[in-house]
A and B are shown apart, each in its own frame.
Chain A
Amino acid sequence: MLTINLIDIASARSGDKNNVCNIGVMAKTKEDYQVLKKHLTADLVKAHFKGLIKGKVDRYEWDALESLNFVCHEALDGGASRSLRMDTLGKNFSSHLLRMELEIDTIA
């Protein structure tokens, strides 16, 4: 096994729809995308946010863009205007996700 930093193989952008936050994760290369597809699961994403995401996380594979889209339910403390957070819109869910360390097979 090998540990890699997500930020070395991907970028990300997140945004809000009411209490739902989506995080689009874009692989840097086609090979990186295969690594993401295999290892970056919805469960890992949910766990990485340690309780900030109260609901389920759906993962969509977007092969044409070498991207995964994580749709995180009940993730924004009730939604932008009801939230007591500073980042009411979840714009930095992307930043936080990119801190993740991913355990991968040595041959992806």
Chain B
Amino acid sequence: MSKVIRIAGAQGFYGDSPLAAMAIAMEHGADYLMHDALAELTLSILQKDKLKDPTLGYARDIEVHARTLYPMAFAKGIKIVTNSGGLNPASAAEKVKAILEKSGIKGIKIATITGDDFLERFSELEQAGLKLENLDNNEPYFPAKYPVTNANVYIGAQAVKDALDQGANLILAGRVADPCLALGILAHEFNWKIDEASTQEDFDRMAAAITVGHILECGGQASGGNTYSEWPMNYKLSNLGYPIAHVKEDGSAVITKLKSQGGKVSRNTVREQLVYEIHDPSNYITPDVVVDLTNIKLENIAEDQVSVSGIKGKAKPEKLKLNIGQMEGYVTEQFFFFSYPFAYDKIQMFIKAAKEIWAMLPVKIDEMRFNIIGVNGLHEDAVDMPTADELNQRSELGLRIALKHKDDRSGKMAIQGIVCLGLNGPPGVISVPGWGNTNRAMLSLWPTLIPREFVKPVVQIISL
């Protein structure tokens, strides 16, 4: 029988539940757990942690995983590959090592992957004459308009393969591109070329592996979660089984899940994940290979089993994507609820008074937004507003106020400034939660491309 490698999509985002991964580890349902912890903005969020405490800057759920999931996985010989190292893989590894040592675990190699962090390397890029043009609008980056929070380049799978080749049981990487985690695993197991790939066969199987990674990278979204395709979702959601790919040497795969768990794997659930966050299906660009999904073949082959094949690859792009996080200011948000009767009129009265109060206070608000919850909260101006008469008949309406401001005081002062409307304003107003929310940082992303020569991933191993 030909070799099959089983990879589970064990985590879809920083903060995901570890229960599905624990079920997979317990049943030995996979050979590898692939955790994706980094959405586009996660690194900017981790930078805030790191500024407060230089030993932080990684996805902190690994501390929970180290106490619960990792020991279960290691006992079964399961390896774990994650980009949870975030901005501080070295510190993440030390933290995990300390927790594992406390549990008496020995004989484990933890690998870190770094080389993606460009926060300290801007002068180098500027001196090399790079303009760092914005991918969306071609504007040159220099001179920088805002303070930088982080700058990380998406790196590929070679370092993941190298770390596994060196015997790593756990990889805590920085900004390895999500689907490249799967490619690194498969290249290690099947001894594929990555950086030296040159033949069509090399490209095709790499592209197939990237596709597997893309299907797995959002966890439960490929196995029956967050889906309209399988609505009304006649299966259990509370213990949704996460997707597991059984991959052969040619890169073809069968996507499945544990029988003991809820959820569903079907052509529909896999198809829905495939279209997610992809632009041109014939040119899905990753650091290692450009994937052509035009002729992908998805088939239901049995209950909860979908085969994936027919993927083509093209040579990797010349440049790598660098995301620069910028601190642009703050956003403050507050919810208020208004009861029948006259709920809509009361909201209009409240907004008018709030604006008049802000005009009297030393607050600087750059932009303000008012949404009516249950009417245009999620869809903004894309939906038709009911008439005022109709809204006044509702038993209750919510008002959401969102404010943009450059300093960190204006938001709080603006909300505290309208507290008095609880007594001085229209009757029957409730504020949730409480009065006077604090602001959150408003971070923006500057996506750009840099030549590969600047990027040298580094693998380090610590043993215990």
Contacts and interface: CB of A to CB of B under 8 A. Distances in A.
Interface of A: 7, 11-13, 15-20, 22, 24-26, 48-52, 58, 60, 62-65, 67, 69, 71, 73, 78-82, 84-87, 92, 94-96, 98
B228 A98 contact: yes
Contacts of B355: none
Contact of A11 (B272, B281, B293, B298): B272
Contacts of B443: 81-82
B276 interface: yes
Given A50-B381, A79-B445, A18 B295 contact: no
Contacts of B227: 11, 13
B464 interface: no
Contact of B281 (A15, A69, A73, A81): A69
Contacts of A58: 279-280
Which of A50, A58, A84, A94 has its CB near the most chain B CB atoms (within 10 A)? A84
B213 to A, nearest CB: 16
A69 B378 CA distance: 21
B272 A18 contact: no
A71 B94 CA distance: 42
A85 B298 CA distance: 36
B26 interface: no
Contacts of B277: 15-17, 22
Nearest to B279: A71
Contacts of B274: 24, 65
B275 A64 contact: no
A16 B276 CA distance: 9
A81 B44 contact: yes
A101 B232 CA distance: 21
B380 interface: yes
Interface string B216-229: 00000000001111
A50 B384 CA distance: 10
Contacts, number: 130
Which of A16, A52, A65 has its CB near the most chain B CB atoms (within 10 A)? A65
Q: Interface size class for chain B?
A: 35 or more
B295 A22 contact: no
B46 to A, nearest CB: 13
B378 A13 contact: no
Contacts of A52: 380-382
Contact of B228 (A71, A78, A94): A94
B64 interface: no
B271 A65 contact: yes
A81 B442 contact: yes
Given A24-B276, A67-B275, A84 B296 contact: no
Nearest to A99: B383
Contact of A84 (B280, B295, B331): B331
Given A60-B281, A62-B281, A81-B41, A26 B382 contact: no
B268 A26 contact: yes
B276 A78 contact: no
B136 interface: yes
Interface string B263-298: 000001001111111111110000000000111111
Given A20-B136, A24-B275, A64-B296, A79 B444 contact: yes
B228 A64 contact: no
B265 to A, nearest CB: 16
Given A65-B274, A82-B444, 4 more contacts: A69-B281, A84-B367, A86-B402, A94-B228
